[in-house]
Chains A and B, each alone.
Chain A
Amino acid sequence: MFDPAIILAGVLNGLLAGGVYVLVAVGLTLIYGVLHIINFAHGSLLMLAMYAVFFLWRLLGVDPYVALPVVIAGAFVFGYLLYRGVIGRLSHGRDENILLITLGLSIVIDNLALLFFGGDTQTIDVSYGPDLQLGVAFLPVPKVVSFAASLLICAALGLYMARSDTGKAIRAVARERQGARLAGIDVPNIFAISYGIGIACLGAAACLLMPTYYVTPVSGHAFVLVAFTIVVLGGMGSFLGAAVGGLLIGVVESLGGLFLGEQLGQIGISAIFILILLLKPTGLFGGAR
């Protein structure tokens, strides 16, 4: 049995890891909530954003946190144009086509990244001072920053969705596409904006991840499976669900790893996934937007 202080440290580590999961999952759930499709290119686009952060640092010396607004804006524009130029155009209005297009995009993006960036692991070695010590827990500053920033960005996004005209239009389209169109909302534009915001969340996640993680052409996929689980746990399309689910999954993964070992520890995530599908298929906050 572990010392309670070690268990507390495990919980803290889980919460910090969950913070970034939240951002990845929020992007996924937003795209699902509005477009009603699972974005299979999510991992690949996260990887692209991570490379953007890496090259901004490598070539221009831009700190990942300083790069945050630039990468978020760039990711939004990229996502918006990707939807306008490729996904929306090729889908011909059919959701099942979008699934295939995002899957195809994922394959193309991964292989282009391999061709242009190579398969080598790229890291950013940035020092943000000594780790914070809380009892036996050493909390690396970048992980604390990423946790706080993730929650702040989610809260700001939630506020934007609740208060702004665009946010209201997005929510209207998510609830009743035809009705929104009759009310004069430019639905294809809202689709593209929603997709852009989803990818902007990945841009933010990339800036927060890179000081402690690495990027390769396949590294984004490591976060997608866990993001899918969070979206199902929290309720598809629910922001609050993604936030609570992300932190919960982070803690479950951490304690599972601590008590059962890294391999068996992942069972906790799968068990939650199965239980939620059996007992509450709409998720913890399904329907709440």
Chain B
Amino acid sequence: MATSRKHPVSRRGFMAGTTALAAGTLGFPAIGGAQAATVKVGLIHPVTGFVAYNGQQGRLGATMAIEDVNKAGGIKAMGGARLEALLGDSQSKVEVGVSEVEKMNGAGVAAYIGCFQSPVGIAASQAASKYGTPFLIDVGASDQLVTRGLKNTFRLMPGFGVSVEQGISSLGALNNAANGVAKSAVIVHESGEFGTGTAKLLASKLPSIGISVKEVIGHDNPTRNFDNIALRIRSMAPDLVMMSNYQNEYMLLARTLHQQKVNLAGFFSILGGGFNYKFVKEMPDVAQYMMDVNHWFNPKSAKAQALKKRVEAGGALFTFEVYLAYSTVMLLAQSLEHAGSADKEKLTAAIAGSTFNAELMPYRETRFVNGQNQGARPAVLQALKGDIQVIGPEDVASAKAVFPRPKFT
């Protein structure tokens, strides 16, 4: 049945906005009076290619933050220096991401922010390390990003290691409360670094909470049809299906499992690429009771709610890419304040020692160890009645979990 919905963000508006912002900051310095210095920030996101939407959302959050920093007077410790956005498109390709790093280095960039896809982030931050330029990962799940000993690479968000740990402990608690109804699981993952790494971790940790893994099924991006995976799952009759994949495949797999009436105690995903407002509102029946461990804003944060309103007023969805990129720019801005300079060594030291308050998310105090923020923690979410509720951690929870889910009749 057709339903009326609010039209999403106008892409022309988005493109025009970000292009105008870039032109405004790059091409037309303020006229009259002494001009404050500028700090060039390289934003590398996949705004074209198969994860273009996620990249555009990341760019939206980062450019909004730059706009806010400049409106608030720029970097005061640097005489009101303005942030300049250098917009790069990785085209969802590793080699293009690296070439953007090189181009921006030539333009005198002070720090990079990106790249959404882990393989692109790994290669791009490696390239930036040659120049000693700080590289802040706004979104990138692989723990390889921060375990290579690179001094220039920082990640504010949690990686899949922490997310899997949080997921396993929450699932264990939920299952115990439900008298151990779930005893087996099938893991379905995309075949890239993100999905494969998450699936391996899950497969190794699920037995620790009394859940055996019946099979680990990988799939390519894109996958046209999940009917066979649904059939295999039905033939194995697991209690849980655990998913780790990008938006399109996540949505298609969830819809197929629903259509094929696969009876489960629960669907549980770790960093489920498609678990967002759009999915839950457009397919409420499919999404109902699905659970995900993911990046999420703190529903009790007034600043997060205010930013959500602004983003939605512009016609966009308040997805995790937006507030993670926004917060990462704010971390950079605060580090520039502390460093009092865009000198790469001083800036790197300032980020490494930062105690930035990432209040938009349910994080604890920021503390970087080997580039990873130890205060980062994901939220446990559940789709309930066409909305997304936070069911953990308890201090920020907005609803109680429903587990096991009711069976198909």
Taking Cβ atoms with an 8 Å cutoff, the residues of A that contact B are: 2-3, 6, 9-10, 13, 16-17, 57-58, 61, 63, 111, 114-121, 123, 125-127, 131, 136, 138, 140, 212-214, 216-219, 222-223, 226, 253-254, 257-258, 261-263, 265-266
Contact B220 A263 (CB under 8 A): yes
Contact A214 B252 (CB under 8 A): yes
Q: Which of A120, A216, A257 contacts B229 (CB under 8 A)?
A: A257
- What number of residue pairs across chains A and B have CB atoms under 8 A from each other? 120
Most buried by A among B9, B55, B232, B283: B232
Q: Give the Cβ gap from B400 to chain A, nearest Cβ, in Å.
A: 28
A213-B224, A254-B227 as given contacts; A120 in contact with B53, CB under 8 Å: yes
Chain A residues positioned under 8 Å from B106 (CB to CB) = none
Contact B2 A126 (CB under 8 A): yes
Smallest CB gap from A141: residue in B: B259
Which 4 pairs of residues, A with B, have the shortest CB-CB distance?
A: A119-B52, A257-B228, A118-B11, A119-B53
Contact B225 A17 (CB under 8 A): yes
A125-B282, A136-B234 as given contacts; A57 in contact with B2, CB under 8 Å: yes
Chain A residues positioned under 8 Å from B50 (CB to CB) = 216, 218
Q: Which of B12, B218, B235 contacts A261 (CB under 8 A)?
A: B218
A218-B49, A261-B217, A263-B218 as given contacts; A125 in contact with B259, CB under 8 Å: no
Contact A262 B251 (CB under 8 A): no
Q: Give the Cβ gap from A248 to chain B, nearest Cβ, in Å.
A: 16
Smallest CB gap from B281: residue in A: A125
A-B contact pairs, 15 of them (CB 8 A): A13-B227, A13-B231, A17-B225, A111-B48, A118-B9, A119-B54, A119-B55, A123-B282, A136-B234, A213-B224, A216-B53, A217-B52, A218-B52, A261-B218, A262-B223
Contact A3 B235 (CB under 8 A): yes
A121-B248, A123-B282 as given contacts; A266 in contact with B220, CB under 8 Å: yes
Contact B53 A121 (CB under 8 A): yes
Contact A263 B191 (CB under 8 A): yes
Q: Give the Cβ gap from B279 to chain A, nearest Cβ, in Å.
A: 9
Q: Give the Cβ gap from B399 to chain A, nearest Cβ, in Å.
A: 24
Q: Which of A3, A13, A61, A214 contacts B251 (CB under 8 A)?
A: A214
Chain A residues positioned under 8 Å from B49 (CB to CB) = 218
Contact A123 B227 (CB under 8 A): no
Complex formed: what's the CA distance from A261 to B187 in Å? 13
Interface size on B, residues (CB 8 A): 49
Chain B residues positioned under 8 Å from A217 (CB to CB) = 52
Contact A114 B52 (CB under 8 A): yes
Complex formed: what's the CA distance from A64 to B255 in Å? 18
Contact A131 B261 (CB under 8 A): yes
A123-B282, A217-B52 as given contacts; A117 in contact with B225, CB under 8 Å: no
Contact A219 B222 (CB under 8 A): yes
Smallest CB gap from B317: residue in A: A120
Q: Which of B8, B53, B222, B228 contacts A222 (CB under 8 A)?
A: B222
Contact B2 A10 (CB under 8 A): no
Q: Give the Cβ gap from B278 to chain A, nearest Cβ, in Å.
A: 7
Complex formed: what's the CA distance from A219 to B49 in Å? 10
Q: Give the Cβ gap from B122 to chain A, nearest Cβ, in Å.
A: 22
Chain A residues positioned under 8 Å from B34 (CB to CB) = none
Contact A120 B278 (CB under 8 A): yes
Contact A258 B228 (CB under 8 A): yes
Chain B residues positioned under 8 Å from A140 (CB to CB) = 259
Complex formed: what's the CA distance from A199 to B49 in Å? 24
B260 within 8 A of partner (CB): yes
Complex formed: what's the CA distance from A111 to B1 in Å? 31
B56 within 8 A of partner (CB): yes
Q: Give the Cβ gap from A165 to chain B, nearest Cβ, in Å.
A: 38
Complex formed: what's the CA distance from A9 to B232 in Å? 11
Q: Give the Cβ gap from A6 to chain B, nearest Cβ, in Å.
A: 5
B65 within 8 A of partner (CB): no
B14 within 8 A of partner (CB): yes
Contact B260 A138 (CB under 8 A): yes
B247 within 8 A of partner (CB): yes
Contact A262 B219 (CB under 8 A): yes
Complex formed: what's the CA distance from A57 to B4 in Å? 10
Complex formed: what's the CA distance from A282 to B407 in Å? 52
Q: Which of A10, A123, A223 contacts B231 (CB under 8 A)?
A: A10
Contact A17 B227 (CB under 8 A): yes
Contact B248 A216 (CB under 8 A): yes
Contact B48 A118 (CB under 8 A): no
Complex formed: what's the CA distance from A117 to B8 in Å? 10
Complex formed: what's the CA distance from A126 to B3 in Å? 9
* B5-60 at interface with A (beta carbon < 8 Å): 5, 7-9, 11-12, 14-15, 47-56
Contact A254 B228 (CB under 8 A): yes
Q: Which of B15, B53, B247, B248 contacts A115 (CB under 8 A)?
A: B15
Complex formed: what's the CA distance from A112 to B294 in Å? 32
* B188-232 at interface with A (beta carbon < 8 Å): 191, 217-220, 222-225, 227-229, 231-232
Contact B283 A125 (CB under 8 A): yes
Chain B residues positioned under 8 Å from A61 (CB to CB) = 2
Complex formed: what's the CA distance from A207 to B217 in Å? 31
Chain B residues positioned under 8 Å from A265 (CB to CB) = 228
Q: Give the Cβ gap from B192 to chain A, nearest Cβ, in Å.
A: 12
Complex formed: what's the CA distance from A185 to B21 in Å? 56
Most buried by B among A63, A218, A226: A218
Complex formed: what's the CA distance from A265 to B278 in Å? 31
Contact B251 A115 (CB under 8 A): no
Contact A123 B1 (CB under 8 A): no
Contact A262 B12 (CB under 8 A): no
Complex formed: what's the CA distance from A254 to B260 in Å? 15
A119-B47, A119-B56 as given contacts; A262 in contact with B217, CB under 8 Å: yes
Contact B231 A9 (CB under 8 A): yes
Q: Give the Cβ gap from A220 to chain B, nearest Cβ, in Å.
A: 11
Chain A residues positioned under 8 Å from B224 (CB to CB) = 17, 213, 222-223, 226
